Amino acid sequence: MPRWELVYELKSLFPSLPVVCDISHIAGTTSLLQMVAQQAVDLNLDGLMIETHRNPAVALSDAQQQITPSQLKELLTHLIKRNAGFTEEVIKNRMNGIRNKIDVLDELMLKSLSNRMDLAREIGELKKEHNVSILQLERWKEVIENCMKKADDAGLYREFVRNIFIQIHDESIRIQSAILTGKIEDLVKH
């Protein structure tokens, strides 16, 4: 799976750095080239690297991901170039309204995460006081199973929800480990 989030991070750190996407190596096969190319274009990357050979079957390397010059022309012809932003004032205002709602929800999520980590600290203190191990596997399985059911009910992509809760659980473990080992300085927020 392409790690597109690395592109976001790279572009955030170095906004003027041109980023060229090697879609041939990401796709690994010609059947995925169009999809990967479109994703790279949709992310507003600065260029595409596409392996091309007049006869891919006899290419000395990476034959399975190379296309002919006519296939390259076809691929490029079918790419949809998107606008960099909105131009109509009415649409810009509507987008800003939606983004404001997102900002409010993001703030609520951060407050909820902060509250959740406060509870993880409380649990860590109880585990320390009663000499209980940090990882409670049955509870973790229960949390994930419940979240998967709720993700289904909410129409959310399971893997997305799973990844979020893995990160939350990892942070809870980090907090509890710091409490159990007495390394409270590890709890300092950065």
User: In this predicted structure, what is the pLDDT of residue 189?
Assistant: 58
pLDDT tens, 76-103? Answer: 999 999 988 888 999 999 999 999 999 9
Return the SS3 of 185: helix
Read off the pTM. Answer: 0.72
Nearest of 183, 178, 166 to residue 121 by alpha carbon? 178
pLDDT, average across residues 10-34: 92
Nearest of 20, 28, 21 to residue 66 by alpha carbon? 28
pLDDT tens, 113-151? Answer: 999 999 999 999 999 999 999 999 999 999 999 999 999
All structural domains of the chain with their residue ranges? 4-77, 116-187
Rounded to 5 degrees, φ, ψ at 48 are -125, 140
Distance CA 155, CA 56 (A): 42
pLDDT, average across residues 13-35: 93
> Dihedral, CA atoms, 43, 47, 50, 53, nearest 10 degrees?
160
Distance CA 122, CA 106 (A): 24
Instruction: For tokens 């034959």, name the residue.
Output: 63
- DSSP H helices in the chain: 4-13, 23-27, 33-42, 69-77, 89-129, 137-154, 158-181
Domain 116-187, what fold?
A: Chorismate Mutase Domain, subunit A (1.20.59)
